[in-house]
Each structure stands twice: as C-alpha cells, then as structure tokens.
Amino acid sequence: MMSRSFWGWGADGSGVTPAEQTMLEARVAPLVGSELSWQQSPEIGQISLPATRATLPDSLAELLTATPTDRASHTYGKSFRDIVRGLAGDFSAAPDLVAYPATEADITRILDWASEVDAILVPYGGGSSVVGGVETPVEVRGDRPVISLDMSRLSGVLEVDRHSRAARIAAGTYGPALEAELRPLGLTLRHYPQSFEFSTLGGWLATRSGGHFATLHTHLDDFVESIRAITPTGEWESRRLPGSGAGPSPDRILLGSEGTLGVITEAWMRVQDRPHFRSSFVGRFTSFSGACNAARLLAQSGLWPQNCRVLDALEAFVNGFGDGSSHLLLVAFESAHLSVSHVSQAAVEIVRHAGGYVDSGAGQGGERPDRSRFEGNDRSTPADDAERWRDSFLRAPYLRDGLLRLGLISETFETAITWDRFDEFVEGVRAATIAALLAEGCGPTPILSCRLTHVYPDGAAPYFTVIAPGRPGVERLKQWQAVKDAAMDAIALLGGTVTHHHAVGRDHRRGYDQQAPATFIRGIRAMKKELDPTGMLNPGVLFNC
C-alpha cells in the first residue's frame, strides 16, 4: 500500500507540480486581485490529536492501531471542508482507533467488541468521500469511542467466471489493483470514478458510485450480481443471479446504504471484455443549451455511446479545451468485438442535425488497442480529446488542493433533473449559487462552470464547479456552508436530486431530508434498528438512528 497524504488528495508527494503551481497562479491571480501566497501543507508531527478514548483490547491488538498517522488520515474524507480543516491542523474529529481487519471473521470480532463497548464504527474504503461520509463529528459521537474500519486488507479479485464475464472481488480492492488483476484475463470492470486511484469497490457500492459510462449503465448498481456484507446481527449474502424478480432486490438496499446497514465485504461483479474498437468525436456548439439538447437526442437514440459528456465553454476552457468560445459535446463509442464506425457515424449525424459543428471525417473510428490512461498504460500516440479529458479529470483533485492552499473556495456539486425542467433548473441553480457567492463576499467574479457527466433518455446529471476567493483560513468554511446550503435548497426546490453519484453522507443531509419519502426513511430506520440495534454503524449518515 502506497503512503497516502493524511490531509489531502492522493499519494504522499503527488501534490501540485511546480508547473501546475505556475498555471494555477496565472489563472487565479485575476480572480483574487491580491498577492497570492501558498498555505503550507501540515506535517503530521505538528498537529494535535484528541486523546484516544478507547482501550485497545488485547484480543484485537493485532487489528487495531492508534498511531497519529492512522488516526489523522482516517479523520476526514476529501471534501473542501475536510481539506481546509486538515490544512488548519484541525483533527478534533479523529477516530479513537483504526481497525485493519484481514478477514470477515476479524470484522465480526470487531463488531462484537464494538457492541460490547457501545462504540461507533465507520466503514472506510479509500476515504475519498466528498460528503462527510467517513467522519463522525464530535457532537454525534458524544462519549462513544469511534473506530474507523479500514477495509484495505480485504483486497483482491477472488474468483473469475470467464464464461459469464463476472468476478468476485473483495470490497477493499482499490481501482488500479482491481483492473491490474483483471487485465491479464482480457477483462475490465471499466468503472472509473474521479476517485478511481484512491477508492475501493466497497466504497463504490456503498455510495452508488457513478463511473465511466455516460449513458445506459451510469451507476455501478447495474454491474452488481450479488453482495456479501456483515451486519452487527449477522451475515447478509444475496444469491449470484443475472436477474431476479423475487421480492425487492436485497442488493439495492445495500447499494447506497453508505455503511449504515452493514459492512460490505465482497461482491460478484459483471465485468467486460476489454474494448478494441473505438471511435470518438467532438461536437462544438454556440450555446450550452444546444449542446445539452444534442446530448438528449443521443441519449434517446438507442445508440448508447460510452461517453456523451457536455462541457460548457468555461469548463472546457478551464480544462484546456479550446478558447472558451464553444460549448463541447464529447462523444465516444467502444466495443470489444464489433466495429463502432457505423454507430459513431449515426451519432455524428444526430449532433450535426442538432446544430453542432463536427470536423469532417470525425467519428470514423477504427481498431485501437486498449490503452486507458486510468491504468497508467504507456502511450506512444498523441492524446486525443477523450484522453486529454481523462488526464485533466484525474489531476483535478490535486489542483483543487492547490486552489485551497491559495486561499480559494473550490467546490463541486452534482445533481440530476428530467429534460422538461432542464434549462430552467440549471439556470435556477446557477443563479442561486452565484447570488450566495456574492452575498458571502466571494466576488466580484466567482467562477461557476457546468458539465453534464451522465445523460439519460429522460434527463441528465449536471455537475457544477465553483471557484471563488474566500476569507482567510477556516473562515472560508462559513462562506462555503452558506453557498452549499443555497445550492442544495435551489436543487431541492427546483426538483433535482441532492446527489447523482457523490452520495449523501453528512454534508447532503439538508437536501436529502427534503427529498427522501418520509415513509421510506421511517421504514429504513426500522430496518437499521433491527440489523444494528446499538446504532454502531455510521450514525447520522443518511438518517438519524
């Protein structure tokens, strides 16, 4: 396991490069209008942690640790608020202990002990939550000890069924390890959330992660054959089935349960043959609405492109695509066995018909070896737009940390809405967010860009990025909270979802409470009480115990 930053994104030493620093300074200077200074990264020796309030039981000594690095690095996820607190050396919410179970039996022993001492247990995958999903705030924990349950030792592809194209995978497996094990078999899960390098299968399942595919199978949910979990009162294992109509799907209860009902330990996942044929093209539009309308037509066409992402002109410019005068629609098709030229050409026609400019000759496609940047392959040919987008996509969290060290507010939030309300919704959320930024003194020209990450026949998932100057230090947190609340309220009022794929955690409870059917919440709380009678699992995430 590589050494990870205890406060910021990624591996130790992988922060912004000198070249990225220069680039950020050049871009941020006009926004801030004052001298830029880089806040120092915190050192583990300089932070203070609260005393551990739990005694390490002898019987579990080999599974539990209380080192400062373990506790600090399991205190938060990677949201704006988490990084700002980390930069300020505030680790007051640190867990008392960190557990590293290696087997399901270990987990059961830890759960039994947690029940005895009335501890709180927080299932922890890669810790990449941007919604407060792995933190237990001081006011929630009260006098209860808090244990972070790090799943990283339950790792690996455990079994492969080549004939059915499925694999049994341990929940603690990180993205790159998972793909590295499938690759020699010619297989891939092909799930690439932005957190890919630093998140796990179990975390993806628990949060209904959104990944590679912009249409059709947008969330990981549809790739699940069966899930195994350990609840405080027994094992939960669904049967491995390609499809079933026997009662409500047990898997769909665990998908999105965010560690509140059980600890997901492994899953049988549908995997795929690695793509060989590919084709991609870019459509350029004079309006964001026009680009989105073309995406709608593609989503309703039955062509199911693997990529179908819209970047507004600002988002495109910030990510290094063009001069900021065009709104872009990135389209790509891929297939393991069949040429995609025909479908790609059909898509080009649709995009042109919808008013998009597409280079002549684009979308021809062809045979191209699978060289996903996500897996760090060599690359001997020049990057195309899709690859440049992925590079930019994977570096974004590092750059975000850089912006925070420069004193800015940088936040992303995402949602989904049906097409009939789309234009009004995006404008309404944008206006409410800008108004809140200005009211909080984050002017005069805060950046708010938008892209579509996933599109459906009946709607789309807009993803907003905010970059704005903030008050020094942790004062930014209050500004951020006000802006976050305003955006959430606008989303709730205008009919969207508080999250399309980032999850609810603690940060989205305000919107989730407005959105979830009250009867459903009553029902799922009753379910939790039955399975987790002491309320040990991630209390306060999704709902109050």
Regarding 515 and contact with a copy of itself (CB under 8 A), the answer is yes
Regarding 523 and contact with a copy of itself (CB under 8 A), the answer is yes
Among 501, 535, 538, 539, binds a copy of itself (CB under 8 A): 501
The span of 110-118, 310-318, 366-374, 514-522 binding a copy of itself (CB under 8 A) equals: 514-522
Contact positions with a copy of itself (CB under 8 A) in 212-231: 216, 218-219, 225, 231
Among 136, 148, 344, 499, binds a copy of itself (CB under 8 A): 499
Q: Is 110 within 8 Å of 120 (Cβ atoms)?
A: no
In the complex, the smallest distance separating the C-beta of residue 393 from a copy of itself, rounded to whole angstroms, is 18
In the complex, the smallest distance separating the C-beta of residue 422 from a copy of itself, rounded to whole angstroms, is 8
In the complex, the smallest distance separating the C-beta of residue 360 from a copy of itself, rounded to whole angstroms, is 21
Nearer to a copy of itself, 303 or 328 (CB): 303
Q: How far is C-alpha 248 from the geometric centre of its chain's CA atoms?
A: 26
Local structure of 307: helix, strand or coil: strand
Contact positions with a copy of itself (CB under 8 A) in 456-475: 456-461
- CA 32 to each of CA 68, 335, 361, 438: distance values in angstroms, whole numbers, following the listed order: 36, 46, 43, 14
Q: Is 454 within 8 Å of 192 (Cβ atoms)?
A: no
Local structure of 58: helix, strand or coil: helix
**How far is residue 74's CA from residue 93's CA, in Å, rounded to a whole number?**
10
In the complex, the smallest distance separating the C-beta of residue 295 from a copy of itself, rounded to whole angstroms, is 12
Regarding 147 and contact with a copy of itself (CB under 8 A), the answer is no
- Binding-site residue total for a copy of itself (CB under 8 A)? 98
Nearer to a copy of itself, 117 or 527 (CB): 527
Regarding 367 and contact with a copy of itself (CB under 8 A), the answer is no
Contact positions with a copy of itself (CB under 8 A) in 296-335: 296, 300-304, 335
In the complex, the smallest distance separating the C-beta of residue 103 from a copy of itself, rounded to whole angstroms, is 19
Q: Is 195 within 8 Å of 173 (Cβ atoms)?
A: no
In the complex, the smallest distance separating the C-beta of residue 531 from a copy of itself, rounded to whole angstroms, is 5
Give the list of residues 6+ apart from residue 406 with CB closer than 8 angstroms, or none: 24, 25, 28, 32, 36, 37, 38, 39
Among 185, 314, 346, 438, binds a copy of itself (CB under 8 A): 346
Contact positions with a copy of itself (CB under 8 A) in 263-302: 270, 272-273, 296, 300-302
Contact positions with a copy of itself (CB under 8 A) in 150-179: 161, 163-166
Regarding 249 and contact with a copy of itself (CB under 8 A), the answer is yes
Q: Is 442 within 8 Å of 424 (Cβ atoms)?
A: no
Q: Is 72 within 8 Å of 135 (Cβ atoms)?
A: no
Ordered alpha helix ranges (H), 379-517: 385-405, 422-439, 475-493, 509-515
The span of 63-71, 373-381, 471-479, 497-505 binding a copy of itself (CB under 8 A) equals: 497-505
In total, the chain counts a number of residues equal to: 545
Nearer to a copy of itself, 39 or 301 (CB): 301
Nearer to a copy of itself, 196 or 456 (CB): 456
In the complex, the smallest distance separating the C-beta of residue 329 from a copy of itself, rounded to whole angstroms, is 18
How wide is the angle at C-alpha 221 spanned by C-alphas 95 and 114, nearest 5°?
A: 25
The span of 4-12, 18-26, 211-219, 470-478 binding a copy of itself (CB under 8 A) equals: 211-219
The total of other beta-carbon atoms located within 10 Å of residue 88's CB is 16
Bridge pairing between strands 408-414 and 459-469: antiparallel
**How far is residue 489's CA from residue 431's CA, in Å, rounded to a whole number?**
12
**Residue 242 burial by CB count (10 A; 0-12/13-18/19+): exposed, middle or buried?**
exposed
The span of 22-30, 377-385, 441-449, 525-533 binding a copy of itself (CB under 8 A) equals: 525-533
In the complex, the smallest distance separating the C-beta of residue 407 from a copy of itself, rounded to whole angstroms, is 31
Q: Is 152 within 8 Å of 174 (Cβ atoms)?
A: yes
